[in-house]
């Protein structure tokens, strides 16, 4: 797809950041994220009447989200909130003759890169922490691509930012209703990186390809009907069902190789910590839950995999509930998690990682010209088999962005159960 970038500018906060907020210290979890970034693209069938209103509302919302307009100073472990600004790119896709709805129905996953700013910025200075590209289509629709540094934000935080930005655009004369807090660095301060780990030992996967899989309402309902409720008597979540189905198919690839499996799932700890936290707390507060090692032949039944994933998540929530408590040293908790990660990254393990973005409200982001017809994602560059799980537009299914080794993907796509469950 041909996308022409027309202009590139920096958008600065509408009013200067106060002097007492100029140095934003990173939290311990922020530092664990390193120099990665991630992105989401929102596709709309309409566009704003005033071509400048997205820029004008971005100026206003950056007043509250001031770290996003700053620059990361790696040696000092801070964001210099000097109001240098976020990147804002205007682009056009002149050769697209389809409607936006037609365009996204059969869009290849790799095409998502066309709608993101032309350079992916690492988190070190002087590069921006937030970059946005607005791509206009001849049909009258547009795509808004947002790239953000994982050093300052996680998926939940991006959802808060987009909700605030859209409300500021829709109601420019009203006070912004969503006010973020940036208290996590004081609750989980960065002290040092002495976890006793050597990340140079990690072997990164090569030849990773991405494919999006749609698990609709009917498929999930059919799978749930075969499963027992969880320990609390609640129906198994859509996300857990899809995770288990994907793992079951991947295990089928490994039985001949006799490698053990480990499954990782990210957990948003907001509303799960014993210490209270403000509703719109931004920064990184996601931890990783790791299952025990599992032989490929050990969990052939879907119910066993659902239970394995569920038990691991419940245990991790309990283990990390004290992460923000004043009488705890967060480094001990993070060190424990990182040691599990090193087992997960061992060469004799087949690792698969899941990230749940289904509750971050991306389909509710309305700038005043309608809600998105589709949302696409680009994660931090995966080094293992990985999947990001999103809600579909209707909110009753799951779209999985699956990253696998190229050869594994070719075999995975031929799994009979997968073929029966996914829709186009």
**How many Cβ atoms sit within 10 Å of the Cβ of residue 332?**
12
Both structure tokens of 352: 């698969």
- In angstroms, the CA 367 to CA 171 distance is 9
Q: Which long-range contacts (CB under 8 A, 24 or more apart) does 304-311 make?
A: 305/243, 305/244, 305/247, 305/248, 306/227, 306/236, 306/240, 306/241, 306/244, 308/263, 309/240, 309/243, 309/244, 309/247, 309/263, 309/265, 310/230, 310/231, 310/236, 310/240
Q: Which two tokens stand for residue 111?
A: 């095409």
Give the position of tokens 């780990």: 197
Measure the CA–CA gap between 395 and 392, rounded to whole angstroms.
Answer: 5
List residues with catalytic annotation. Answer: 150, 366
Triad 408, 413, 417: Cα angle to 5°: 120
């Amino acid at each position: 797809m041909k996308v022409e970038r027309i202009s590139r500018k920096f958008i600065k906060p509408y009013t200067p950041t106060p002097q007492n907020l100029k140095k934003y210290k990173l939290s311990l979890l922020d530092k664990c994220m390193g120099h990665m970034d991630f992105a989401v693209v929102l596709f709309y069938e309409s566009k704003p009447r005033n071509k400048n209103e997205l820029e004008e509302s971005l100026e206003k919302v950056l007043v509250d989200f001031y770290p996003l307009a700053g620059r990361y100073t790696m040696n000092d472990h801070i964001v210099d909130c000097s109001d240098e600004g976020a990147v804002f790119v205007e682009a056009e896709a002149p050769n697209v003759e389809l409607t936006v709805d037609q365009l996204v129905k059969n869009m290849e996953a790799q095409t998502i890169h066309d709608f993101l700013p032309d350079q992916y910025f690492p988190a070190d200075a002087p590069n921006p922490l937030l970059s946005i590209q607005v791509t206009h289509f001849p049909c009258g629709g547009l795509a808004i691509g947002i790239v953000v540094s994982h050093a300052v934000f996680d998926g939940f935080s991006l959802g808060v930012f987009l909700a605030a930005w859209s409300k500021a655009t829709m109601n420019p004369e009203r006070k912004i209703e969503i006010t973020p807090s940036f208290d996590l660095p004081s609750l989980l301060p960065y002290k040092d990186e002495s976890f006793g780990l050597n990340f140079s030992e990690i072997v990164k996967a090569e030849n990773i390809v991405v494919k999006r899989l749609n698990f609709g309402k009917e498929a999930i309902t059919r799978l749930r009907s075969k499963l027992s409720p969880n320990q609390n008597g609640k129906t198994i979540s859509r996300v857990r069902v899809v995770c288990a189905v994907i793992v079951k198919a991947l295990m089928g690839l490994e039985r001949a190789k006799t490698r053990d499996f480990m499954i990782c799932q990210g957990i948003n700890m907001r509303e799960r910590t014993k210490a209270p936290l403000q509703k719109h707390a931004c920064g990184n507060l996601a931890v990783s839950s790791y299952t025990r090692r599992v032989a490929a032949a050990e969990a052939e039944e879907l119910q066993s995999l659902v239970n394995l994933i569920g038990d691991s998540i419940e245990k991790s929530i309990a283990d990390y509930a004290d992460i923000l408590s004043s009488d705890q040293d967060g480094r001990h908790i993070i060190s424990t998690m990182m040691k599990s990660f090193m087992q997960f990254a061992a060469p004799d393990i087949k690792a698969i990682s899941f990230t749940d973005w289904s509750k971050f409200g991306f389909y509710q982001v309305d700038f005043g010209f309608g809600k998105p017809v589709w949302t696409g994602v680009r994660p931090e560059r995966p080094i293992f088999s990985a999947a990001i799980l999103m809600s579909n537009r209707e909110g009753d299914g799951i779209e999985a962005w699956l990253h696998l080794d190229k050869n594994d993907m070719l075999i995975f796509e031929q799994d009979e159960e997968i073929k029966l469950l996914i829709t186009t």
